[in-house]
A and B are shown apart, each in its own frame.
Chain A
């Protein structure tokens, strides 16, 4: 016997969980797009497409106050800030987002255990939604993932009976608690799981990792980056991109310490106060982007810092896509091997 729910009753599941005190985050329709947002009662949950924003912001927010201080006379008074970590369920994130959490878990627990990230991670139950469809930007299968991967998920929703229902399969203790908390919103029953989407492999990521180790000075970086406008759209949309900028803002009497999303795409990212920039052009910045995800993270953590969600390719104003660049690298690697 399985836990099943009618496909059009997902919002009832959300309501049941909200009644049990969960903050529910789910994909909902927002004008022309599907957006991962705090679910409001009455909202329909839209599983038709991958959300334009990733689940990252619910663990590592766009901006976060991590410290406060006041200046009283000549006395400096810092104030501890507690992480904001309400009990949350991510209801229906794609497997590429769930898998991205494994990358963030590694990074935010590296030499320093990030209390802010970890508090939210511990307080969140991740329910992944197996993909029935994929588009030409999806490339999870090229980076060791799959449309039905359960990495990073506490439970998984699988479409069943031709899309008429979902099967909810708890995977971890959190997932089991969630299934119990769902109560009558989930029925005991049987359903036949629908096949997951087919996502053709687009490039060989091992070839990319290998080539990156030997081609720091390659002219290819200049060619692939010419179209790049140097904004942060790709990094902000990316589930695994985690670079941040600490800023202090306030008045002479009191201030907050902020942690904001940063982006290696900006020239400002590595600009020194003396004016020197070790990554002086977009070629160097693109090299960094690819090497961080496909080489350095592998060397340090044994995994790629990319789960193939394809958002970078979908959202880039200059139609650049990491999967296209990886394919070019693989071609360059093959051409070099022939010589």
Chain B
């Protein structure tokens, strides 16, 4: 049996058995992949899974129209699984709300609950890291002088139209009122111009520091082709190095930036 047959069979089964009211998976639209929402087991035939399935489906678990139909089953590659664990760690998702059809590299791990997903991630996907190509590009960026790096990002952010597709595609961006929507005071200029674009993109990266699982959904979503993974990747590498933290593996993890441990290094306070 092909992997996709097993996924489709399980998708139909979780609906038939009432383990889920809705299955969220991927469908094909020509060469593109998009989400599909199934409430009828017969619809499982529409499910596909391959390397082109890059969208992070965990984002839908914050959408009220989807939450109204919980429990939800999600076809989840490791990046999506980590996002689900992150959402659970941040009290945005509860165990009984989700069931996971866990897929890996060319392998299907079956139907798991969040505890099972956490165990699977720790056992088989603990070593998830940015691709060598991304790491190389991050190193190139890090080797630049601050002026060179600022010039690089200024040129990239000049393309930004402030569509907020990056925010909408990210499972970690779920504030009911985003910082850009606040105008008392106006923290970030709403204008799609240099300093507002710079502030928006950098602040979003900072608000995800220690939380971003490098799923790549933001960069894939950006209609202007801004290389957001370089920004998020650089911060993720910093967090991993300085705090030894990798988000999305532990439902009990405290947020890296948002928590304090008495054992934290305080050597920089002189």
From 153 to 173 in chain B, residues with beta carbon under 8 angstroms from any chain A beta carbon are 161-165, 167-169
Q: How many residues of A contact B (CB 8 A)?
A: 42
Residue-wise, chain B 182-193 has the 8 Å CB interface mask toward A (1 for contact) of 010010011111
How far, in whole Å, are A282 and B193 apart by their CA atoms in the complex?
A: 28
Q: Is the CB of A281 within 8 A of B65?
A: yes
| Complex contacts, A282 vs chain B, CB 8 Å | 63, 65
In the complex, whether A180 has a CB less than 8 A from a CB of chain B is no
Q: Is the CB of A30 within 8 A of B191?
A: no
Chain B facing A: main interface SS: mixed
In the complex, whether A33 has a CB less than 8 A from a CB of chain B is yes
Most chain-B Cβ atoms within 10 A of its Cβ — which of A225, A237, A319? A319
Please judge, given known A-B contacts A247-B191, A319-B32, A319-B33, whether A222 and B164 are in contact too, CB under 8 Å: no
Most chain-A Cβ atoms within 10 A of its Cβ — which of B55, B66, B164, B196? B164
Residue of B nearest to A223 (CB): B37
Q: Is the CB of A226 within 8 A of B169?
A: no
Q: Is the CB of B162 within 8 A of A260?
A: yes
Q: Is the CB of A52 within 8 A of B225?
A: yes
How far is the CB of A127 from the nearest CB of chain B, in Å? 24
In the complex, whether B132 has a CB less than 8 A from a CB of chain A is no
In the complex, whether B29 has a CB less than 8 A from a CB of chain A is yes
| Complex contacts, B186 vs chain A, CB 8 Å | 247, 249
Q: Is the CB of A321 within 8 A of B225?
A: no
How far is the CB of B68 from the nearest CB of chain A, in Å? 10
How far, in whole Å, are A72 and B162 apart by their CA atoms in the complex?
A: 33
Partner of B59, one of A33, A222, A229, A283: A229
Q: Is the CB of A236 within 8 A of B161?
A: yes
Residue-wise, chain B 6-37 has the 8 Å CB interface mask toward A (1 for contact) of 00000000000000000000010110111111
Please judge, given known A-B contacts A226-B65, A232-B163, A317-B165, whether A258 and B190 are in contact too, CB under 8 Å: yes
| Complex contacts, B117 vs chain A, CB 8 Å | none
Q: Is the CB of A231 within 8 A of B161?
A: no
How far is the CB of B40 from the nearest CB of chain A, in Å? 12
In the complex, whether B221 has a CB less than 8 A from a CB of chain A is yes
How far, in whole Å, are A244 and B231 apart by their CA atoms in the complex?
A: 29
In the complex, whether B181 has a CB less than 8 A from a CB of chain A is yes
How far, in whole Å, are A235 and B63 apart by their CA atoms in the complex?
A: 20
Partner of B164, one of A227, A232, A319: A232
In the complex, whether A62 has a CB less than 8 A from a CB of chain B is yes
Q: Is the CB of B169 within 8 A of A319?
A: no
How far, in whole Å, are A323 and B35 apart by their CA atoms in the complex?
A: 17
Residue of B nearest to A320 (CB): B34
| Complex contacts, B116 vs chain A, CB 8 Å | none
How far, in whole Å, are A236 and B223 apart by their CA atoms in the complex?
A: 9
Q: Is the CB of B162 within 8 A of A261?
A: yes
Partner of B29, one of A226, A281, A319: A319
In the complex, whether B217 has a CB less than 8 A from a CB of chain A is yes
Q: Is the CB of A231 within 8 A of B168?
A: yes
Please judge, given known A-B contacts A281-B65, A317-B55, whether A233 and B165 are in contact too, CB under 8 Å: yes
Q: Is the CB of A229 within 8 A of B162?
A: no
How far is the CB of B50 from the nearest CB of chain A, in Å? 14
In the complex, whether B148 has a CB less than 8 A from a CB of chain A is no
Q: Is the CB of A226 within 8 A of B64?
A: no
How far, in whole Å, are A232 and B169 apart by their CA atoms in the complex?
A: 11
Residue of B nearest to A317 (CB): B221
Please judge, given known A-B contacts A62-B161, A263-B163, A283-B65, whether A245 and B181 are in contact too, CB under 8 Å: no
Give 5 nearest A-B pairs by CB, closest first.
Answer: A319-B34, A317-B221, A231-B168, A232-B163, A229-B168
Subset of 19 A-B contacts with CB under 8 Å: A30-B225, A62-B191, A63-B190, A63-B193, A227-B34, A227-B36, A229-B221, A231-B168, A232-B161, A232-B164, A236-B163, A247-B190, A249-B186, A249-B189, A249-B190, A260-B192, A317-B168, A319-B34, A324-B29
